[in-house]
């Protein structure tokens, strides 16, 4: 176990037993649920949104214009990766869309709502 894992285990051990039980139950429930692909997290999804905005341009053309690799753009369009904030800004500018409008169409990371 790495340093972060050891620290997490130590902090977990300091929680009251009831809180530990609740966290473990939530983790078991999450493990039983089928995982939803990243690009289907919201209507439209990353792949369909970015690929449709690209239109007739090739991935190589768009990637070169915004300063990223073709592989990175392909991963964003396939929903395998979510762009860093700097890349989101460049994509929004390139497609002449407000940042919040473009990325409200894309998947959002779901944060744990656990009360610790």
Q: How many other CB atoms are there within 10 angstroms of residue 39's CB atom?
A: 22
Share of the chain above pLDDT 70, in %: 69
Q: What is the DSSP letter of 59?
A: H
Q: Closest Cα to residue 102, out of 35, 38, 54, 65?
A: 54
Decide if 10 contacts 1 (C-beta within 8 A): no
pLDDT means per 10 residues, the chain with 116 residues, are 65 82 82 57 56 91 93 86 87 86 57 48
Q: How many other CB atoms are there within 10 angstroms of residue 16's CB atom?
A: 8
pLDDT at 79: 79
pLDDT at 5: 65
């Amino acid at each position: 176990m790495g340093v972060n894992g050891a620290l997490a285990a130590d902090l977990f051990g300091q929680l009251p037993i009831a809180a530990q039980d609740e966290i473990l139950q939530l983790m078991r429930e999450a493990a039983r649920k089928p995982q939803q692909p990243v690009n289907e997290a919201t209507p439209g999804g990353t792949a369909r949104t970015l690929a449709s905005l690209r239109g007739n341009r090739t991935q190589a053309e768009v990637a070169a214009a915004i300063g990223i690799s073709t592989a990175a753009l392909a991963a964003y369009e396939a929903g395998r990766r979510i762009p860093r904030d700097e890349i989101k800004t460049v994509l929004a500018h390139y497609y002449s869309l407000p940042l919040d409008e473009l990325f409200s169409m894309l998947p959002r990371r779901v944060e744990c709502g656990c009360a610790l």
